[in-house]
Structures are given as C-alpha cells and as structure tokens.
Amino acid sequence: MTDRTLDFFRLIEKDSNVKLAELSLRRPKTKDFDDSFLNEARIIYNSIYKLQVFLSRIRHAYLKSIHVRNYSALTKPLMECSREELDKLELSDVQRDEIDQEASTIINICVSRIKALEQAEENTKTELGEKHWYEGLKNPEKRARKELLLAHHSGVLWFLQNSLSKVSETLFTLQETRFEQAKTSSLLNNNWQNRSYSPPPRVQLSQSDFSQNLSQTQIQELEDENELLLQEFEDTMQRVQYTSRSLNEIIRLQAEISKQLSLQAAQTDKLYEDAMITSDTISSGNTQLKQARSRNSRAAKGLFIVFLILSFLLVAFDRIL
Amino acid sequence: MNTENVKPVDTLQNRQIRCLERLLNLNHELEELEDQKASNELPLWKVLIFDKPCSEIISTVLHVSDLRKHGVTVHMNIKANRQPISDVPAIYFVQPTRENVELIIRDLSNGLYESAYVCFSTTIPRALLEDFAEMAASSNTGHMINQVYDEYLNFVSLDSEFFSLQQPGVFSLIHSPSSTDGQIEETIQQVASGLFSVLVTLDVLPIIRCPPGSAAELLAKKLNQKLRDHAMNTKNVYAADSTKQRPVLILLDRTVDLVPMLNHSWTYQALVHDVLKMRLNRISVDVVNNGVESKMVYDLAPNDSFWEQNSNLPFPRVAESIDEELTRYKNDANEVTKKTGVSSIEDVNADTLVNSTYLKAAVSLLPELTARKQMLDMHMNIATALLKTIKDHQLDEFFEMESDVKNINKATVLACLKDKQKGTAEDKLRFLLIWYLNADNVPASDMEQFEEALKEAECSLEPLNFVKKIREITRMNMMASAANQPTSGQTGDNLFKGFTSLSNKLTDRFKEAGIGGLENLISGVKNLIPARRANTITSIVQSLTEPGSAIKQTEQYLYFDPKSRSGSSESLYTANKRQSFNEAIVFMIGGGNYLEYGSLTDWASEQNPKKRIVYGSTEVETSAEFLQELATIH
C-alpha cells in the first residue's frame, strides 16, 4: 500500500487557506462522544484493556514457583507497575489469591455494566417497536436512523463482549496453570512424604545400633523437619482446593460470557438486517415518489375532470329522479 | 488425512487477509495496537463503506464476525441510502472513480460520519486526486479526511494461491473481430492494473515470460513498464531482499488450451464450481430436512479445514473422508459425554456440572465440537446434491469419455449426442467440442451429422462456430500429451465401500423424507480416480521453470525483466533462458478454472524440491458461462 495522505493534504493547501500542518495534526475523536452509550462503552473497554495488559505483565511473577510466606508491603498498586517492576516481584499465595479475586471482580463489574447497556438498548428497541406504524409513516428517515443506531450499538456490545471473553480466557489460563503447578507439587510432596516415613524404621534400627552416635538434638531436628514437610503438604493441599474453587468461578463466568456473545451476535445480525431493509424500503419509496411526480400530469388532470363530470352527473340524476 | 497439503503461512490469500485486516485497523500494523498509548489515540469503532467490487474482495475472505472483531459495527454500500452515525469515523474501501469520490465528499458535507479514512482498491490517478482535493477544499471537508491510501487489493483470492481479477468478457473482447484497438488497449490496461496489485501483495518482482504476438505480449509490455516505474519511484515498497530467488510470471492466452474450460471434472472443488455454480466461494444448495425442502446458502471461505484438505481430491475419496470425519466426531462426542456424565452432547449445561475438570472439558471442547458438526452437515448436504446431479446427468460417463478422448471414434460420439438419457444439451456440446479439438481430421459430412444430432437436442451451435475458426491455432498450441493410464492406487471395492457407507448415513437421515434410499442414486456411478494426465498448461510451466525439460514451443517465448539495467521495455533476447525457478505465477488471459488450478497444485507438490505456483485469471468461469461467451463472438 502507498500512503497518499501527504500528497492529498498538499493539494488541499494549494486550493484553500488550510495549512498542511493543521491537517496533519488532526486526530479523530476517541472520547467525549455526543452519544452517552459510546462514552460508557469506552470506559468499559478501557477497564478490560487495562486488565488484559496487567495479566500479561504479572504472568511471570504469578507463575513463579517461589512461595513467599510473609509478603512485603508494596509501594504502589500492582496495576500501575511496569513490566520490569512486576517481573522482579516475589508473590505470596495470599497475594496471588488477591489478584485472582480482584481480576474476577473487575470482570464481574464489566459483565454487569455491559448488561446495563444491553437493557437500555432493549428498552429503546421496545419503544421503537411500539411506535411503529404511525411514526414510520410520519418520518421514515428518523426511524431508519434509530434502527441503524441500534445495529451500531449492538456491534459495539459484541466487540466489548468479545474483548471480555478474551480477558477471561487469559485469567482462566493463568489460574489453570497455577492449579496444575500446585497439583504437581502436592503429588511430589505426597511421594516425598511417603518416602520420608520409610526411613524412620531404618533410623530406629540405626538408633538402636548407633543410639550413642545420634544426639538428642539431631533426633529433634529430624522430627522438626518432618513437621515442616507435613505443614508444607497441608499448605499445598489448601492451595489446590482454593485454586480449584476460583477456577470453577472463572469457568462459570467464561461460560456465561460465551453464551452472551453468541446471543449478541444473533441479535446484531438481526438488527443489521432490519436497518438495511428499512433503508432499502426508504430508497425504493423515494424512487416511487420521484416516478410518480414525473408521471404525465395530463393523465392525472384528465382523470380528475372525468371524476368531476361523473359526480355532477350523479347529482343531476339524483335531482331528476 | 492428507498431511502433504499443509500450506505455508505466507500464501497469497493470507497476505491479502493481512492487508485487509491492517486496512480495518486504520492502516496501522496490528502489533502497534498493543501499545496502550496507541490504543487510546485510535478510534475503536468504525463504519465500513464499500462499493460492489470491493465488497466482493472482502466477503470472499472475511466473515462479518471478522469485521466486528476489528471494531467495524456496520457495513454498507456507498450507493445505498445511508443514515448518519456522527460519532464514529468511516473507512471507505472503494475503487478510485469520480463517482465514489463525489459520494465521499457528499457524505462528509452532510456530516454523516465523524471523519473518513479513504482506501482506494488501486492507485488513484493524479488528475482524480487533484479533483478530490479541490472538492474537499471547496466544500470545507478537507479536515475531515484522515488518510488517503492506495491499497493494491483489486483482486479476489478464491483459494490460498488462486486469484481472479473479476473482469468478465475479456476473451470475447480480444477475439471478437468487431473490437477496436482502443477497446483492447483499455482492457489490457485494466488487466495490468489487477495483476500489478497481485504482485505488490506478493511483494515480488518477477521475470516475465509470454508467447509472442498475442494479447499476452501486450500485457507483458505494459506490466513490465509498470513494474519498472514502481520499483524506481518507491524503493521501500519492495521489501524483498535480493538474495531471495525471484519467481517467473507466465502470461498465457486462453487459446493455448480451451479444453480445461469445457471438461467435466471429478475433483470436489471443480464439481462444486461446475454443478453448484459456486461464485466467490458461496453456493446455494437444495436441502431436504425432515421432508421440508429449503435452500441453504453456504460459504466455503478459509477456515474450513475439511474443504482445505479435500477440495482437490477426487469425489469418491471425498465421500470416504466425510465418512472418516463423521466417525471421528462421534468418538470425540462420546468421550466428552462420558467425561461429563450426561446422556448426549446437547444436554451439557454449565450449571449441572460441579467438577472443574469436567466443566473445563465442556466449555472448551463443546464449541469446537458444535462447529465441526455444522461443517460436516454442510459437506454432507453438498455431497448429496452433487451425487444427485452426477447421477441425473451421467456426468461420470462424460468424464470417462473425455479422459480417453483420443481413442473415441466417430460412431461413439454420434451415439452419445443422440442418446436422450445422457446429460443436458450443454454437456453434449462440451463433449463434442473437446473431441473436435483433439481429433486430427474431421470431414465436413461428419460435422454435419454431429450438428444435426445437437440441433435435435435443442442445443445452440454458436459456440461451435467460433471454435471452428480458432481450431487450427488452438491445436498448434495444445501439447500432444498422451493420456496416462489410470492410477491403480485403490481397488474398486474400497471406493464403493466409501460410497455405500456414505449412502447409508445419508439414507438414515432422509428415511423419513421418503427419498427411499440413496443406494439407487449412486449405484450406477462409476468409481474412478481421474487419470493424471499432463495438461498443456502444466507442460508449459514445467518447460519454463525447469529448462532441462524444455519443449520447443516455449523457446519462442519472450523474456522481460523489470529489474534489468538496460532500461528498455523490450524483450531481452540475450537473457539467460536456461535458469530454473522454484516459484511461478501463472496468469491466463480470458478465463480460468478450478481444474487447471488443481492440476498445477498437484504438479507443484510432486516436484522435488516442491515448487510453489500461484494461478489466476481475468475471471473464473463455469463451462456454461464460457460457452455463452463463445456464442457472443461474431
């Protein structure tokens, strides 16, 4: 492709007083729309986009297999950190859970805000449907405009739901990976736990043989280690259970969003068809009007005179009879 | 499954799709949009306005959902009566004509949209650009135009490496004695513009070869000049590095071989095109469902994996593939229902499931399974419709005769033409023309008998008159390639098994409809795999890409190199005509078809190393349409 924009602007500059610099700097409108629907939609999209960016940046830290026990207080909210800052983080399980919760909350808020917009559109559509027959006759262009706007808004809603579906999928993948990691490490711990119970008999044997060699402190240390391993194993199991619950939550959310998406697609298709049919009807209506006007007016005049004569005859006969 | 049909990512169709997606994103590279700053500065939602040719370009490769994904909320024709949506910009994807430019200015003056991104399908001429600017200045709408781009997309990608310029009637115009030089010149100019766009999209600067003294030579000269000018003026457009081997562009006239345009074929895509009249990858099929007849409209666009793998296979093999895919689907569906513990796939509902593994399986596998089922249903319906027509018109017998046309004597031809049961009048005419073009000596008395038989079948003889005139020229060009023996890869039993099981499945579905079993329909159909015979076009391509196997005919071909320093646009006689090529772009002036595309694709994949062939034409016609065109030449 070849960019002819500068060429074009230079030609305009020659033909008018508009400066090339002014034309080049102009930016299309991306916010503060006249249409409040679009403003709300843009706000929703910004939240979705921010979440998508955040999830991609936090992925490295989130999936690190280091599980910090006590977390250090962060200097600023996670969502405002850069990729480099987030990469360096070491997160605790509590922090990970908080991230899951907050992301789910944001998605839920978006879902409800989109539903609110859908409801508003539904109301407008019903109003339009009720006003149908006489409004259509009075001002067909106005009706066509409203229908097109409905189709346009429906397309915007589909776009939002599609973006939301993508971000919920990202969150799902993240949580699923964490879940798999937790499951694997719990299995490993399980095996290790099993194995760590088999040495004790040997230890006892060696204890009987070498009881003088193993001091009280060493036995205590081994028992402490076992305790620690048990504790870790329980922690991992808890982690697995919690992650599994939040996984269920995100899957349900995803299923709901997918359903909404396919419904919205069908809705948008229908609204688009309606809008096109109305505009086609108006076009053909206009054509008919033009044709009617250009039809030979003599024929119309002649018909009028005939009817006039006939009505006079009718009155005359009535008088006579 | 045919694993050898794995296509490289950078096909012509994929390149065009990427260009269109970039267009829908306001001519920004998709990677740029990842930057948050950029996404806040660009409008998210836009309206797409196109004219008819551009709507065909888009609709062949993109669905409405693809448009929506890129933020296009509504799409409309530029000539339609349109209402305003004043908060969003409009993308105009139109041909660079005066009418379109005036309509754009009118829209902006009336405040229909917030602003405009204007993308012309090909280069807007300087004079028109000046007029456009003048109109914008005088109507004070210049500030509402954000971009003006030349997109070089004025061609349609029908398949991954198969394109059409959507320019009808080129063959009849060139060969009609009543055409003026001016008309031919203008037509060739338009063809050059379309072909140039294909080359820009492929990002190549090829060597051009063509036969001398024909429309191909005119086209070659024009194209050579265009490429030369473009390479000089816009050095950065050609990102092709010099180390990459350049392809060869082979320009041919349709008269080099008329037979493929008339052949009855046996491959899936050729049958769908010929019998179901596929147009821009869309077909309309009569379907009977539970006794209710309806017309289904199907899109065979990209992302149909079954079509991708089976389109160039013989029809009996396609029937087997459908069978295999159905079995695979049933197995996968059973697995999912087993995992989730519900009785059938339709009952899977997110609310009823508790275990997250099962839930996950349902949510991720379910949409994929539904999509697969829909695709298989569509292909079953298509196959049924094809089977019916093949049986009704005995197309398999025509195919068999045409495969072995040189060995058919005059008596057989006459019998076929007189047989009232065999095929339509059009089928008979096609067969006769193919026989006539292949036969050595046809006395006038024989011709009279044939014409009588055709007249009885109520067939128009106009196309035959034209073919008589160009017969000698065409025969000189056609390669005397002997028909190969049919491949013995599969026994008749195996093939019939595919048909039988397909018919069983179809029969089960349509039992209630009272069609009474499809075994009757297909029992008479012969199981043949088409003989792999060397087409004229394949021989020419082979000769030009592998000098070792050069045939005498192509030694006369002209040679143009847009990159050569000699600066002339004339054919280079001293050029190295012995170089070999791994990539070729074959362009047929006057009509192309799926048969040639299929045979070129097969030939290319059999080479070692594999070659890449892009094939295209001024338009892709069915035999019926081609015959109609022949009839108009007086």
Judgement on whether residues B202 and B215 belong to the same structural domain of the protein: yes
| In-domain check, residue B76 | yes
Judgement on whether residues B141 and B39 belong to the same structural domain of the protein: yes
Element (H, E) at A59: helix A36-62
- CATH number (domain holding residue B70): 3.40.50.2060
Nearest CA in chain B to A32: B87
pLDDT in tens, B570-599: 666 656 667 889 999 999 999 999 999 999
Mean pLDDT of B204-231: 91
CA distances to A178, B330, B483 from A93, rounded to whole Å, are: 11, 42, 73
Least confident of A163-172, A241-250, B295-304, B505-514: B505-514
pLDDT band at B269 (very low <50, low <70, confident <90, very high): very high
Report the distance separating Cα B10 and Cα A313, nearest Å: 84
> Over 70: is that where the pLDDT of B273 sits?
yes
| In-domain check, residue B196 | yes
Q: Residue length, chain B?
A: 634
Is there a contact between A272 and A149 (Cβ–Cβ < 8 Å)?
A: no
Report the distance separating Cα B19 and Cα B200, nearest Å: 11
Q: Of the candidates B533, B587, B522, B570, which has an alpha carbon nearest to the alpha carbon of residue B248? A: B587
More confident residue, B95 or B406: B95
CB contact under 8 A, A151 and B72: no
Report the distance separating Cα A100 and Cα A37, nearest Å: 30
Judgement on whether residues B214 and B224 belong to the same structural domain of the protein: yes
φ, ψ dihedrals at B446, nearest 5°: -60, -45
CA torsion, points A75, A80, A83, A86, in degrees to nearest 10?
A: 30
Nearest CA in chain A to B198: A1
pLDDT in tens, B523-548: 445 455 555 556 788 988 988 888 77
DSSP type of residue A81: S
Least confident of B177-186, B321-330, B347-356: B347-356
| In-domain check, residue B306 | yes
φ, ψ dihedrals at B25, nearest 5°: -100, 35
Report the distance separating Cα B316 and Cα B319, nearest Å: 5
- A251 touches B at CB < 8 Å: yes
DSSP type of residue B86: T
**Cβ-Cβ contacts under 8 Å, B237 against chain A:** 2
Q: Count of CB atoms within 10 A of residue B361's CB?
A: 17
From the list A15, A156, A282, the residue facing B81 with the nearest CB is A282
- A18 touches B at CB < 8 Å: yes
From the list A16, A148, A254, the residue facing B85 with the nearest CB is A148
pLDDT band at B513 (very low <50, low <70, confident <90, very high): very low
- Helix or strand or coil: residue B47? strand
Judgement on whether residues B147 and B21 belong to the same structural domain of the protein: yes
Is there a contact between B435 and B408 (Cβ–Cβ < 8 Å)?
A: yes
Min Cα–Cα distance to chain B from A68, Å: 27
CB contact under 8 A, A145 and B146: no
> Over 70: is that where the pLDDT of B510 sits?
no
Q: Of the candidates B391, B444, B455, B445, which has an alpha carbon nearest to the alpha carbon of residue B418? A: B455
CA distances to A26, B12, B240 from B236, rounded to whole Å, are: 26, 20, 9
CA distances to B51, B225, B264 from B121, rounded to whole Å, are: 10, 20, 35
Interface confidence (ipTM) of the complex: 0.83
Nearest CA in chain B to A33: B87
Report the distance separating Cα B170 and Cα A315, nearest Å: 70
> Over 90: is that where the pLDDT of B455 sits?
no
- Helix or strand or coil: residue B296? strand
Q: Is CATH 1.20.58 what the domain over A35-188+226-268 is classified as, yes or no?
A: yes
Is there a contact between B216 and B190 (Cβ–Cβ < 8 Å)?
A: no
Least confident of A85-94, B394-403, B429-438: A85-94
Min Cα–Cα distance to chain A from B334, Å: 21
CA torsion, points B556, B561, B564, B569, in degrees to nearest 10?
A: 80
Which two three-digit tokens encode residue B116?
A: 């405009």
Residues 321-350 of B with CB under 8 A from A: 350
Report the distance separating Cα B343 and Cα B334, nearest Å: 9
Report the distance separating Cα B8 and Cα B609, nearest Å: 15
Element (H, E) at B390: helix B356-393
Is there a contact between B255 and B470 (Cβ–Cβ < 8 Å)?
A: yes
Report the distance separating Cα B365 and Cα B505, nearest Å: 25
Mean pLDDT of A227-231: 86
| In-domain check, residue B5 | no
> Over 70: is that where the pLDDT of A166 sits?
yes
Find the radius of gyration of the CA atoms of chain A.
37
Residues 202-241 of B with CB under 8 A from A: 234, 237
Report the distance separating Cα B167 and Cα B315, nearest Å: 30
Judgement on whether residues B28 and B138 belong to the same structural domain of the protein: yes
Q: Of the candidates B20, B120, B100, B7, which has an alpha carbon nearest to the alpha carbon of residue B60? A: B20
Judgement on whether residues B61 and B207 belong to the same structural domain of the protein: no
Min Cα–Cα distance to chain B from A42, Å: 8
SS3 per-residue string spanning B169-188: CHHHHHHCCCCCHHHHHHHH
Q: How far is Cα of residue B610 from the mean position of the Cα atoms in its chain? A: 22
Least confident of A197-201, B141-145, B477-481: A197-201
More confident residue, A160 or B33: A160
Judgement on whether residues B380 and B501 belong to the same structural domain of the protein: yes
As a whole-number percent, the residues of chain B with pLDDT over 70 amount to 80
CB contact under 8 A, A8 and B115: no
Is there a contact between A109 and A85 (Cβ–Cβ < 8 Å)?
A: no
From the list B23, B36, B137, the residue facing A12 with the nearest CB is B137
- A247 touches B at CB < 8 Å: yes
CA distances to B219, B459, B463, B630 from B467, rounded to whole Å, are: 24, 15, 6, 8
Mean pLDDT of B200-209: 92
| In-domain check, residue B481 | no
- B43 touches A at CB < 8 Å: yes
B122, B154, B186 - which closes a domain: B154
What domain range includes position B218? 158-257+534-631
> Over 50: is that where the pLDDT of A186 sits?
yes
Residues 47-66 of B with CB under 8 A from A: 47, 64-65
Min Cα–Cα distance to chain B from A134, Å: 20
Is there a contact between B45 and B88 (Cβ–Cβ < 8 Å)?
A: yes
| In-domain check, residue B4 | no
**Cβ-Cβ contacts under 8 Å, A260 against chain B:** none
pLDDT band at A132 (very low <50, low <70, confident <90, very high): low
Report which listed range, B330-344, B382-396, B614-628, is most confident.
Answer: B614-628
Report the distance separating Cα B21 and Cα B13, nearest Å: 12
Is there a contact between B155 and B194 (Cβ–Cβ < 8 Å)?
A: yes
Which two three-digit tokens encode residue A162?
A: 């599609």
pLDDT band at B505 (very low <50, low <70, confident <90, very high): low
> Over 60: is that where the pLDDT of A200 sits?
no
DSSP type of residue B460: -
Which two three-digit tokens encode residue B314?
A: 């013989």
DSSP type of residue B87: T
CA torsion, points B525, B3, B584, B123, in degrees to nearest 10?
A: 100
**Cβ-Cβ contacts under 8 Å, B73 against chain A:** 151-156, 159
> Over 80: is that where the pLDDT of B506 sits?
no
pLDDT in tens, B101-113: 999 999 999 999 9
Mean pLDDT of B463-484: 67
- A288 touches B at CB < 8 Å: no
Min Cα–Cα distance to chain A from B170, Å: 27
Pairing of strands B207-210, B558-560: antiparallel
- A242 touches B at CB < 8 Å: no
DSSP type of residue A14: H
The alpha-helical segments, DSSP class H, found in B155-297 are: 170-175, 181-202, 215-233, 259-262, 268-275
Q: How many domains does chain B have?
A: 4
- B291 touches A at CB < 8 Å: no
pLDDT band at B24 (very low <50, low <70, confident <90, very high): very high
Is there a contact between B423 and B395 (Cβ–Cβ < 8 Å)?
A: yes
| In-domain check, residue B476 | no
Residue B585 pairs in a beta bridge with: B249, B614
Terminal Cα-to-Cα distance of chain B (whole angstroms) = 49
Instruction: Specify the pLDDT at position B484.
Output: 30
Judgement on whether residues B376 and B512 belong to the same structural domain of the protein: yes
Residues 141-170 of B with CB under 8 A from A: 142-143, 145-152
Residue B617 pairs in a beta bridge with: B164, B588
pLDDT band at B241 (very low <50, low <70, confident <90, very high): low
Report the distance separating Cα A30 and Cα A33, nearest Å: 8
| In-domain check, residue B335 | yes
DSSP type of residue A215: -
Instruction: Specify the pLDDT at position B508.
Output: 52
CB contact under 8 A, A5 and B148: yes
Instruction: Specify the pLDDT at position B496.
Output: 39
Element (H, E) at A209: helix A199-210
Mean residue pLDDT across chain A: 81
Instruction: Specify the pLDDT at position A306.
Output: 93
- A145 touches B at CB < 8 Å: yes
Judgement on whether residues B106 and B247 belong to the same structural domain of the protein: no
pLDDT band at A71 (very low <50, low <70, confident <90, very high): low
Least confident of A79-88, A246-255, B335-344: B335-344
Domain boundaries, chain A: 35-188+226-268
CB contact under 8 A, A34 and B114: no
pLDDT band at A248 (very low <50, low <70, confident <90, very high): confident
φ, ψ dihedrals at A142, nearest 5°: -65, -40
pLDDT in tens, B360-404: 666 677 778 888 999 999 999 999 999 988 888 888 888 888 888
Judgement on whether residues B301 and B361 belong to the same structural domain of the protein: yes
Mutate to test the interface with B, among A3, A4, A43 (most CBs of B within 10 A): A4
Instruction: Specify the pLDDT at position A193.
Output: 62
Judgement on whether residues B18 and B143 belong to the same structural domain of the protein: yes
Mean residue pLDDT across chain B: 82
- CATH number (domain holding residue B520): 3.90.830
φ, ψ dihedrals at B179, nearest 5°: -75, 140
- Helix or strand or coil: residue A301? helix
Q: Of the candidates B346, B387, B391, which has an alpha carbon nearest to the alpha carbon of residue B369? A: B346
Instruction: Specify the pLDDT at position B150.
Output: 94
> Over 70: is that where the pLDDT of B343 sits?
no
DSSP type of residue B314: B
Pairing of strands B282-289, B292-299: antiparallel
Is there a contact between B248 and B540 (Cβ–Cβ < 8 Å)?
A: no
Instruction: Specify the pLDDT at position A203.
Output: 45
Instruction: Specify the pLDDT at position B360.
Output: 67
Report the distance separating Cα B592 and Cα B596, nearest Å: 7
Judgement on whether residues B549 and B610 belong to the same structural domain of the protein: yes
Is there a contact between B85 and A148 (Cβ–Cβ < 8 Å)?
A: yes
Q: What is the DSSP string of B404-427?
A: TGGG--HHHHHHHHH-SSSS-HHH
